A and B are shown apart, each in its own frame.
Chain A
C-alpha cells in the first residue's frame, strides 16, 4: 500500500497492458481496487501474479463479477484482475465429448458454441455473465446440480497460473485419468485464493432432445416435503428438483412451489412428467418457451437480493426441519425466502430486513447445526458481513487448507483476505 498508485502504473510489467484506475463500479463490498488490469493471455496472468507476489500487492480475480458478494469484506485491494480477456474456446472435441476453454469465457458463450454440435456443459449457476473460471472457483451451481453435479464433477483438466509466475496443468483431456493429484478439485471452491484458474477442460453431455417441467404448489410444508421425498425415492430421473418456500403476504402464511424438470428423449420426458404428477398429487406440465422463461425467472429471483443470501446445506431427509426453520425465522422481523435444491439438500435463503436482523438470522440458522450443516454468506451488505463471518466457524479442513495456502501463496496476496483460505 505504501507505493503510490501513480508509481504502480509506471511498473514495467504494466507497459502495454490494459490497465486503469479502479472505479466505483469495481468496488467489492465498498472497497475500491487501486488498479484494474485485464490480461489477454495466460502468460500475462502468470507474470502479474509473480509481480504482485514479489511486491506484496493484494490481488482479486474477477470473472463476470456475478459472485463478488461472496466472501469477507476485503482488505484494501491493490489489483483487480479481470479475466474476461481470456475468453477463447481452445478446443471442442465433440466426438470425444470434451472441450477446453479459457477461464474468462462465460458459460453462456461456451454453451452457445458447444450447441453447434448439440452438446453442452450442464452448469447453470445464477448470473448471465458467470464465467467458467468463476464457476470453478466458487463451485457454484443451479437447479441442474440435481442431475449433473457441480463444476468440479465435470472438470477433467485445469490450467493454473501460480504466484511464482508459472503456468501449470493438472488432469488432462480425457475423462478418465488418475495420474497424480487432481488439482482441479483443490481449486474448486478456492475462490481464487490459491492460484489463478486460466483454463479448463470439461467433459460434456449431449443436449437433451426434450424437456418438460412439472410445477406444483402446496400450502402445507409437510405435504411439500413429502412430495419431494416421493420424487427422490422413485426411479424417475429428474434433471432438477427445486422447492421454493416464500411468505405469502395475502394469506400471512408460507407457500411452497415444487418444480421438477425432466430433460431426456421426448417420449421419456412426457412420460416422466406424468408419473411425477401422479406421485406428487397434481401439478401443471410446462414446456417450450414457457418452460425456458420459467427457469430464467426462477434463476434471477434466486440471486437478486438487497439483503443477505445465505447458502445452506443439509441432509436431504432433513428437508421438513429446514422448512420449519425457515418458517420460524420468517416469523420474526423481516422476510425470508428459500430456494432449495431439494433432492440434493442445498439451497439459498434470501433474508431481507434491517441489517441487524439479517445478521441475527444468519446466526440463528448457524445455531441449528443439527439441521443445517453449512451456512455461508453468498451475498450480503458489508455491514452484515462485519457482524457475522461470511464463511462461518472454521473446521478441521481449515488447518489443512491453510497449510496449502501458505505453500502456494506465501505472500498471502490472493483474494485480499476475502477467504475462504
Chain B
C-alpha cells in the first residue's frame, strides 16, 4: 500500500501477568508463541496453539491469523484460547473486549477480531488460556509405502473413536528434505505418519496400542515409538523443520496452504501428483492429516525463466482443487493479498458483501490493513507472487519456517 503507515508491534513484547490459579496469561502482541509455554512450563502448564514457527511468531500475529498448529485437531486454534483482547479500534478508542469463553454476553467480538488479519483493530494486549500439561504423551512414527495407506490409517483411527492430539503426514520429497536439513532419522518411505496421543495415563494406555495396531493393519512398513522426550522432540523437529528444509532440495519454493475435508485428501493428492507431472515442478507435501490442512511446497528455480510463474500457477490450481473438494483456500496462513483473487471461488458476492458491511461498520475508512483480504482490483506497487527471500535470510541471519 503506497503511502501507508506500518505500525510495528514487536516492541510491545512484555509478558504482563502469569496467573496460574486462573490458568491465564496476559501478554503484549510482540511476545512469541513459545515464550508463553516457556514461562508457564515450570508450573506444569502450556499454551496449546503451536504453529511450526512458534519460536519466532508473535501472539499478535497468531491472533490476526487465528493460527493453529499440529495439535489443533484436539485442542483448537487461537480463537479457542483467547479470553480477552485490548485493542485500538479504527476510531482511536482503546477498548477491552472479553470473549464469549470468558463469560461476556452479546456478539462475540473477540471471536470476530481473531483471524481478521488486522483489518478490524490493532491488538495491543491478549489474555490467553493455558492448559495443564497432559499426564501422558505417546508418539509414533509410521512409515507407509503409499500416501493412501497412511490416509487409511488416519481414517481408521478416527473411526475407532480416537481423537489424536496430532496426526501429521509427510510425503517422500518432504521426508528427504527434512532428513537433509535436520536428520530426524525418518525412514525412506513414500509417506510417514506421526500420530500423537495425550491425556490421562489410563486413557492413553488404553488407546495408544489401538492406534498402533491400526497402523500395522493398514500396512505400516515400520513403526517407531518414541521412548523418551528426546526421541519425541527429534520426530517433531523433523516435521516442524519441513518448510525451511525445502531449501536443501530446491533453490526456491512456494508454500501453499489449503484445506479439504479429511476424507478427500487422497483424491486431492492424486490431483496434485498429476499437476506435478504436468507443470514439471516437484511438489512436496506436508500436512495436518487429522484436519485436512495441506501444505504443498512447490519447488522451482527462479533463475530458470518461467519457473516462478509456473509455481504461482500451480499453487493457484491447488486452491481450486481444495474448493472443489468442499474445502477452503486457507487453513492457517490467511488470505492477505495473494489469495484475495481466490475469495470468489469460495464465497458469493452476497457472502463477501455481508463481511464488508461488518468491516465498514467498524472501520468505515479502511484504515486497518487496507487492501487485504477482500478481492479488489490489483493496486500499483503490489508485488504478488512466490516467496522471495528476506535480505536477512540471504545473509544467513534468519531462517524461514
Contact = CB atoms under 8 A, between A and B. Distances in A.
A95 B262 contact: yes
Contact of A315 (B22, B109, B135, B357): B22
A396 B21 contact: no
B230 interface: no
A182 B111 contact: yes
Interface in A156-192: 160, 162, 166-170, 172-190
A272 B135 CA distance: 12
B343 A180 contact: yes
A237 B73 CA distance: 17
A176 B331 contact: yes
Contacts of A265: 202-203, 206-207
Given A182-B112, A186-B108, A167 B350 contact: yes
A177 B79 contact: no
B205 to A, nearest CB: 8
Given A98-B261, A176-B72, A181-B115, A188 B108 contact: yes
A176 B203 contact: no
A96 B80 CA distance: 20
Nearest to A187: B107
For chain B, the bracket of interface size reads: 35 or more
A395 B159 CA distance: 45
Contacts of B100: 139, 150, 152, 185, 188-189
A14 to B, nearest CB: 24
A93 interface: yes
B325 to A, nearest CB: 9
B161 A206 contact: yes
B348 A168 contact: yes
Contacts of B135: 235
B95 A180 contact: no
Contacts of A311: 105
Contacts of A181: 112, 115-116, 355, 358-359
Nearest to B161: A206
A215 B331 CA distance: 42
Interface string A186-200: 111110001000000
B357 A179 contact: no
Given A186-B112, A265-B207, A172 B346 contact: yes
A314 B104 CA distance: 11
A4 B155 CA distance: 59
Contacts of A208: 161
Nearest to A157: B328
B126 interface: no
Contacts of B267: none
A175 B158 CA distance: 14
B354 A160 contact: yes
Interface string A228-247: 01001111110000000000
B292 A175 contact: yes
B326 A178 contact: no
B382 interface: no
Contact of B360 (A176, A233, A407): A407
Interface stretch (A349-357, A362-370, A397-405): A397-405
Contacts of A396: 93, 95-97
Best-buried of B108, B205, B263, B327 by chain A (most CB within 10 Å): B108
B80 A400 contact: no
A89 interface: no
A403 B361 contact: yes
Contact of A190 (B23, B68, B102, B107): B107
Interface string B149-171: 00000010011011100000000
Contact of B202 (A207, A272, A317): A272
B328 A179 contact: yes
Given A95-B263, A166-B350, A235 B326 contact: no
A421 B106 contact: yes
A346 interface: yes
B107 A209 contact: no
Contacts of B262: 95-97
A345 B79 contact: no
Contact of A169 (B103, B110, B132, B351): B351
B134 A235 contact: yes
B48 to A, nearest CB: 12
Given A166-B350, A400-B95, A407-B361, A96 B261 contact: yes
A360 to B, nearest CB: 22
B288 interface: yes
B101 A150 contact: yes
Contacts of B77: 176
Best-buried of A149, A177, A264 by chain B (most CB within 10 Å): A177
Given A207-B161, A237-B199, A139 B108 contact: yes
Nearest to A317: B21
A376 interface: yes
A96 B292 contact: yes
A313 interface: yes
Best-buried of B79, B107, B162, B292 by chain A (most CB within 10 Å): B107
Nearest to A93: B261
A238 B234 CA distance: 31
Nearest to A314: B103
Best-buried of A150, A153, A265, A345 by chain B (most CB within 10 Å): A265
B343 A179 contact: yes
B50 interface: no
A235 B200 contact: yes
A176 B107 contact: no
A186 B103 CA distance: 15
Given A95-B158, A187-B107, A209-B161, 6 more contacts: A194-B107, A271-B200, A374-B105, A403-B361, A406-B361, A421-B106
Which 9 residue pairs across A and B have the least CB separation, nearest first?
Answer: A313-B103, A185-B111, A206-B161, A268-B203, A317-B21, A407-B361, A396-B95, A235-B135, A271-B202
